[in-house]
Chains A and B, each alone.
Chain A
């Protein structure tokens, strides 16, 4: 089966995504071989749903985006694997957050990943996963200069052998 990438997208949005080619400066393949067995590997997750822990973390900045529509908050949050649906809030103006709030596993399956670790399918799961807010200004400058290096450092601290990213 070949997925229709535009099935759920309003037709007028399609040219914003389709046929644009590689990101400027990112025209060559990148590849890091996955060298271990899954059963010996520690896996981390990253969502772009704008999830945050409401008792301890600030929201992503949606107020500034309201007055600067091309801008999206480029910061990131570490989400403890122990956080439950009751602990998590969603800051994302481009999707309906009802299903995410009801079951954050649809974007960040931390409990499920923990279960796969306990069953031995993977060696382990990160104790803190990663959340960003996916709507970003076109150059991705802040993501490139600050967020990506910080997330990489966090993943190294976590001992992650691989990362599953899931844009929303």
Chain B
């Protein structure tokens, strides 16, 4: 996704990426980055939490419009309101994805 942002930016449309993995977006040289410490699947926050979604979206807009140079990163200072163990479990699919299933099978192979 940071690479897609680069291609769109290179075509002349300014971009900002809102991501749970801002250090990875930095390595991939995304032009503007907003980091969120939220579980996967939730870049703008909790379902039904309009205030948190707005805070995240407004930060993204301000970084989009206000960043002075390539590689600008700003992290959102918000803790996820669900205990880590529960949040870690609940974002994951009920059935492992095909590639994870293959990794698990390879690990179990004799």
Contacts and interface: CB of A to CB of B under 8 A. Distances in A.
A90 to B, nearest CB: 9
Contacts of B54: 112
> In terms of DSSP, what is the predominant structure of the interface of chain A?
loop
Contact of A29 (B4, B35, B46, B71): B71
B2 to A, nearest CB: 8
Given A18-B24, A32-B12, A152-B11, A164 B57 contact: yes
A96 B84 contact: no
A22 B27 CA distance: 6
Interface of B: 1-24, 27-29, 31, 35-48, 50, 53-54, 57-58, 60-62, 64-67, 69-71, 75-77, 84, 87-88, 90-95, 97-103
28 contacts: A2-B35, A4-B37, A6-B21, A8-B20, A8-B87, A8-B91, A17-B21, A18-B27, A19-B27, A29-B31, A29-B71, A30-B6, A30-B29, A69-B97, A96-B90, A96-B92, A99-B47, A106-B45, A116-B61, A132-B4, A134-B1, A148-B4, A148-B8, A148-B11, A162-B14, A163-B8, A165-B18, A167-B1
